[in-house]
Amino acid sequence: MTTPILMDVDTGIDDSLALLYLLANPEAEIVGITCTAGNVPARQVAINNLAWLDLCKAPEIEVALGSEVPVLAPLMTTEETHGPQGIGYAELPAPTRALSSRHAVEVWADAARSRPGEVVGLVTGPLTNLALALRIEPELPRLLKRLVIMGGAFNHPGNTTPTTEWNIAVDPESAKIVFDAFSGLPEDRRPIVCALDVTETIEMRPVHLSRLAETAGSTPVETVREEDADGQLSQTSNPIVRYLTDAVKFYLEFHVSHDQGFLAHMHDPFAAAIALHPELGTLRQATVDVELAGSLTRAQTVADWAGLWGREPNAAIVVDTDPAAFFDHLIELVGAFARKTYPPTS
Ligand code: RIB
Ligand code: CA
């Protein structure tokens, strides 16, 4: 049994690893990739996904361009976090496969309508495309099997302002539209929210990249070091491992520059794993709403855990997980996939 997944992304270094994870996972059927502005402009996001699909010798998967701007907020991007093209130091070969002629919202609506109750929506970027898709298909919350969102911060500091997380901060109006529209669903259909509270426990370190190279049979098995020259590129033999290492190295350096250590928070691949196996996280029901007017707190996601607002819960928030088990799972799958795609030369 495979799970059909529609990915909506702002690729992005961790979005890239989420894509590799789903391509590597036989339980996942990627039914489409829709691109929104976020880490980098939407057109660059689309190029990144086409290029990764080419590199991974992936089957034809529709990649559609979505909104290039939030529904109201001025666009902000973060090349300082994800690199000038959004994939760190990686310079992937230019893609040969073509971008879909359809808009992302058409892809969302058709995917849900064509397979009612089957498709899991996974959003690892701002919620702009989904908010717009709800305008043409208000039944999306009931047509999707489940929605998984990487976004928000609840009992945890923000990464964009003191109280806000990037995906929500880019387009808070769209986030509110989505949480409001997905209210009223039964408990087992409520959006699963992977917020910073848990995704910042998913700390990728150099050793994880070394283990990935070993699993892939890539040589040499390198250890990315903090003292390496910025921009020093990987020489390991397996192209998927090599370009991923180049991407993640930029992210490791970003986290060091923000006093978080030589590590990389892998928010999006964790959300992708939850999309396939929600049991990987401990879920807690809450009513979530998004602050739009706060002068200091605009885009803050607020969770009412105790029903103080008198509103039914509309979200299942991941409150705990096992990061080590997640990385074992990720490395095993992506490493084997890299090895199968580019077998080691004897
Ligand atoms: O706040 C982290 C999230 O914002 C991740 O999805 C990252 O890729 C960026 O989109
Ligand atoms: Ca992302």
The CB of 197 under 6 Å from ligand 1? The reply is: no
> Which of 13, 39, 154, 199 for mutating ligand 1's site (highest number of atoms within 8 Å of CB)?
39
Report how far residue 203's alpha carbon sits from residue 324's, in angstroms, rounded to the nearest whole number: 9
C-alpha 26 to ligand 1 mean position (Å): 25
Residue nearest to atom 2 of ligand 1 (CA): 166
The CB of 38 under 6 Å from ligand 1? The reply is: yes
* Beta strands, E only, 140-255: 146-150, 192-194, 203-204
The CB of 165 under 6 Å from ligand 1? The reply is: yes
pLDDT band of 278, cuts 50, 70, 90: very high
Report how far residue 316's alpha carbon sits from residue 148's, in angstroms, rounded to the nearest whole number: 9
What integer pLDDT is reported at residue 237 of this predicted model? 98
The CB of 172 under 6 Å from ligand 1? The reply is: no
The CB of 167 under 6 Å from ligand 1? The reply is: yes
Neighbours of 33 (CB within 10 A): 28
The CB of 36 under 6 Å from ligand 1? The reply is: no
Q: Over range 275-292, report the average pLDDT.
A: 98
Neighbours of 135 (CB within 10 A): 13
The CB of 200 under 6 Å from ligand 1? The reply is: no
Specify the pTM: 0.98
For the chain, domains (ranges, CATH) are 3-203+262-331 (3.90.245.10)
Helix (H) and strand (E) counts in the chain: 13, 11
Neighbours of 114 (CB within 10 A): 12
How far from the centroid of its chain's Cα atoms is residue 44's Cα? 16
Report how far residue 247's alpha carbon sits from residue 44's, in angstroms, rounded to the nearest whole number: 15
Q: pLDDT exceeding 90 applies to what percent of the chain?
A: 98
**Residue range 176-232, pLDDT digits in tens:** 999 999 999 999 999 999 999 999 999 999 999 999 999 999 999 999 999 998 879
Residue nearest to atom 6 of ligand 1 (CA): 124
What integer pLDDT is reported at residue 148 of this predicted model? 99
**Residue range 18-49, pLDDT digits in tens:** 999 999 999 999 999 999 999 999 999 999 99
> What are 190's two structure tokens?
């409520």
Handedness of CA 227, 234, 211, 123 (dihedral sign): positive
Which of 303, 321, 255 lies closest to 156 in space, CA to CA? 303
The CB of 239 under 6 Å from ligand 1? The reply is: no
Residue-averaged pLDDT of the chain? 97
Bond preceding residue 70 cis, omega within 30 of 0: no
Report how far residue 336's alpha carbon sits from residue 334's, in angstroms, rounded to the nearest whole number: 5
pLDDT band of 330, cuts 50, 70, 90: very high
Catalytic residues: 267
C-alpha 124 to ligand 1 mean position (Å): 6
Residue nearest to atom 10 of ligand 1 (CA): 125
> Which of 7, 11, 13, 14 for mutating ligand 1's site (highest number of atoms within 8 Å of CB)?
14
Whole-number CA gyration radius for the chain: 19
C-alpha 128 to ligand 2 mean position (Å): 13
The CB of 15 under 6 Å from ligand 1? The reply is: yes
Of all atoms in ligand 1, which is nearest to the CA of residue 82?
8
- Contact in structure between 104 and 34 (CB atoms under 8 Å): yes
Report how far residue 311's alpha carbon sits from residue 303's, in angstroms, rounded to the nearest whole number: 11
> What are 57's two structure tokens?
């010798």
- Contact in structure between 54 and 28 (CB atoms under 8 Å): no
Beta-carbon contacts of residue 345 (< 8 Å; ≥ 6 apart): 237
What angle is formed at CA 26 by the lines to CA 88 and CA 186, rounded to 5 degrees?
Answer: 90
> Which of 49, 82, 266, 268 for mutating ligand 1's site (highest number of atoms within 8 Å of CB)?
268
**Residue range 88-110, pLDDT digits in tens:** 999 999 999 999 999 999 999 99
What integer pLDDT is reported at residue 49 of this predicted model? 98
What integer pLDDT is reported at residue 54 of this predicted model? 98
Q: Which helix (H) or strand (E) holds 291?
A: none
> What are 307's two structure tokens?
């029903």
Of all atoms in ligand 1, which is nearest to the CA of residue 10?
10
> What are 11's two structure tokens?
């690729």
* Beta strands, E only, the chain: 3-9, 28-35, 63-65, 120-123, 146-150, 192-194, 203-204, 264-265, 281-290, 301-304, 315-321
Which of 154, 153, 112 lies closest to 129 in space, CA to CA? 112
Of all atoms in ligand 1, which is nearest to the CA of residue 267?
5
> What are 167's two structure tokens?
């995906």
